[in-house]
């Protein structure tokens, strides 16, 4: 074997949608017809940072250490943004570089700051907006600047409805710039492994997928935007066609993969309301907390108030983040509404000031859309009436989630303490668990999505499309997980797989079976990088604007 491998990462490309649009995607369909097409199951949680970390290491989150968009010290901590330094385990391209394979890696999440490779690495999200050190080797920076390319400036805002056309235009512009840069690299540089990641497919589905379905959004918006996602897939198919024209397909195995799929988001789930009602979360014993809890039970919650506000005031509040995106200086309107929103921390039941954390037995936090339930293990053990197994059964009885896992079923490794004792979600992801870091937003467990009715969310079903000289042509679908790509690619190159990898070689898709071998690898991690406080603040702000915090 040892042919070239070309991997196109389409962030959030959905299996069901890809299947639906196939007849209008000639380039992708050609690859499918010459190889195979299956679901690529995401990581748990299915956040982009976690899933791509699993892709590039072949490990579960308990081993690679990326469990969210940030690392947190407490349930109410906003956290520190993760980056490549946070990641445990050698990457696919680091191992191949050690085996003298030339690698070009472009924009894959969690590759900033860039590590040294035998080739080129252009760092990906998350990274500071003004970063000038995101390219390895550094001498390539001047070349990119001379061509007007800046790939540190990612789309960071969820635009208001009035600005959706501008947002869409910006996404297409970014795709074109990245594609031109890819074509340039393909033409000017040698490679054995080439990996390029398009983040824009994720952004367009977050903002436009709900418009595809009549009844979720208003009729005028449905008519205006219902074909945006389909047309975007068609545009990406053309991009893929342009890239494949530069590749010798007789000598190259082509992968098209995604980290997760997408679902329309119809409901919000507030498991903290259930934990509070059941007494797992304990409140402080003082007058103000008791009064706030009394009003909370009556329905005086941020969600209920927001729901019944005049439409014009709602629009003004939602425009605050848009104004921040378009201007470095906050306007007077932004400042006033921002201060009003800030009062909610004092008025409503608060997780920082009103919870007695030392007496709290279980809590739910995280920004991944999954119910991450952490137990206060100092207060319970296997002999107590409350433990992960018994509580998992209790959560099952709520009839909200159809996938419930306890930690030991899905995680292993040194970072398990950072991961939830129980993870629960709806397989359809039409209901999204919403964990606000400081406020109890709703006194109901499940409500209609009044907060962001036009935004879609991640599901578990990404795409796995592969064809090439070493790949079987088959219509059979296989059970593939995102952690399986790493060992499968190494096996195609005839390179030993790290002994602690969790993924499996997808032998069914490989024509000429070679022996799967394993080896120990030393990780040569960068020690010289430390994000400045300014960069941390900048990245946190970008994550907030993107709806991840």
Q: How far is CA 315 from the centre of its chain?
A: 27
Task: Kindly report which listed range (53-57, 385-389, 445-449) carries the lowest average pLDDT score.
Answer: 385-389
User: What is the model's pLDDT at position 78?
Assistant: 67
C-alpha dist (Å) from residue 42 to 61, 370, 460 = 12, 13, 5
Helix pair angle (533-545, 311-326), 10° resolution: 140
pLDDT of res. 399: 94
Quick count: other Cβ atoms within 10 Å of Cβ 61?
Answer: 28
Query: Which pair of tokens denotes residue 51?
Result: 């899933």
How much is the pTM?
Answer: 0.91
For residues 200 and 175, the answer to whether their CB atoms sit within 8 Å is yes
pLDDT in tens, 489-506: 999 999 999 999 999 999
pLDDT the model gives residue 462: 98
pLDDT (tens digit, 9 = 90+) per residue, 102-143? 999 999 999 999 999 999 999 998 888 778 889 999 999 888
CA 138, 140, 143, 145 dihedral sign is negative
Query: What is the rounded distance in angstroms from the CA atom of residue 499 to the CA atom of residue 48?
Result: 25
CATH, domain range 4-263+457-468+482-505+514-545:
3.40.720.10
Domain boundaries, the chain: 4-263+457-468+482-505+514-545, 267-284+351-448
- List the one residue out of 48, 71, 187 whose CA is nearest residue 125: 48
Interval 376-395: pLDDT, tens? 877 765 546 668 888 999 99
Question: What average pLDDT is seen over the chain?
Answer: 88
CATH of span 267-284+351-448: 3.30.1360
In 184-279, DSSP assigns E strands to: 193-198, 252-257, 261-263, 267-269
Higher confidence at residue 510 or residue 544? Answer: 510
Residue with tokens 């920076």: 141
């Amino acid at each position: 074997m040892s042919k070239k491998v070309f991997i196109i990462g389409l962030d959030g490309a959905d299996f069901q949608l890809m299947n639906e649009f196939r007849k209008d995607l000639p380039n992708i369909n050609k690859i499918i017809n010459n190889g195979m097409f299956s679901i690529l199951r995401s990581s748990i949680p299915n956040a982009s940072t976690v899933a791509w970390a699993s892709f590039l290491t072949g490990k579960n989150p308990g081993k690679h250490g990326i469990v969210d968009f940030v690392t947190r010290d407490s349930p109410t901590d906003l956290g520190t943004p993760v980056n490549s330094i946070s990641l445990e385990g050698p990457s696919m391209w680091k191992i191949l570089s050690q085996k003298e394979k030339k690698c070009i890696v472009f924009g894959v999440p969690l590759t900033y700051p860039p590590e040294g490779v035998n080739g080129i690495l252009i760092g990906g999200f998350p990274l500071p907006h003004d970063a000038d050190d995101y390219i390895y080797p550094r001498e390539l920076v001047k070349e990119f600047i001379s061509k007007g390319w800046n790939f540190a400036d990612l789309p960071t805002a969820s635009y208001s409805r009035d600005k959706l056309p501008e947002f869409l235009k910006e996404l297409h512009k970014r795709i074109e710039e990245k594609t031109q840069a890819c074509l340039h690299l393909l033409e000017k540089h040698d490679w054995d492994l080439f990996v390029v990641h398009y983040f824009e497919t994720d952004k367009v589905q977050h903002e436009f997928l709900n418009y595809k379905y009549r009844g979720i959004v208003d009729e005028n918006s449905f008519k205006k935007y219902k074909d945006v996602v389909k047309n975007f897939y068609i545009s990406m198919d053309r991009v893929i066609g342009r890239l494949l024209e530069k590749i010798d397909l007789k000598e190259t195995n082509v992968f098209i993969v995604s980290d997760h799929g997408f679902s329309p988001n119809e409901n919000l789930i507030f498991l903290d309301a259930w934990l509070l009602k059941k007494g797992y979360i304990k409140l402080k014993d003082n007058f103000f907390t008791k009064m706030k809890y009394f009003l909370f039970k009556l329905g005086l919650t941020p969600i209920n108030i927001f729901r019944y506000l005049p439409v014009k005031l709602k629009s003004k509040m939602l425009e605050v983040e848009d104004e921040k995106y378009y201007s470095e200086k906050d306007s007077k309107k932004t400042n006033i509404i921002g201060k009003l929103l800030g009062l909610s921390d004092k008025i409503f039941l608060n997780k920082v000031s009103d919870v007695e954390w030392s007496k709290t037995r279980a809590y739910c936090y995280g920004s991944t859309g999954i119910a991450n339930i952490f137990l206060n293990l100092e207060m319970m053990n296997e002999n107590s009436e409350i433990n992960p197994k018994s509580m998992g059964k209790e959560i099952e009885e709520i009839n909200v989630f159809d996938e419930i896992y306890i930690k030991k079923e899905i995680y292993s490794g040194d970072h398990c303490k950072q991961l939830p004792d129980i993870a629960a979600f709806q397989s359809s992801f039409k209901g999204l668990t919403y964990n606000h870091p400081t406020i109890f937003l709703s006194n109901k467990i499940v409500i209609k999505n009044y907060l962001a009715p036009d935004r879609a969310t991640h599901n578990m079903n990404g795409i796995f499309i592969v064809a090439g000289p070493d790949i079987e042509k088959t219509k059979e679908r296989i059970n593939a997980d995102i952690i399986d790509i790493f060992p499968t690619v190494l096996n195609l190159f005839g390179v030993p797989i790290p002994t602690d990898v969790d993924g499996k070689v997808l032998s069914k898709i490989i024509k000429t079976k070679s022996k799967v071998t394993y080896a120990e690898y030393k990780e040569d991690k960068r020690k010289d990088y430390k994000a400045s406080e300014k960069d941390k603040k900048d990245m946190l702000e970008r994550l907030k604007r993107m709806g991840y915090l």
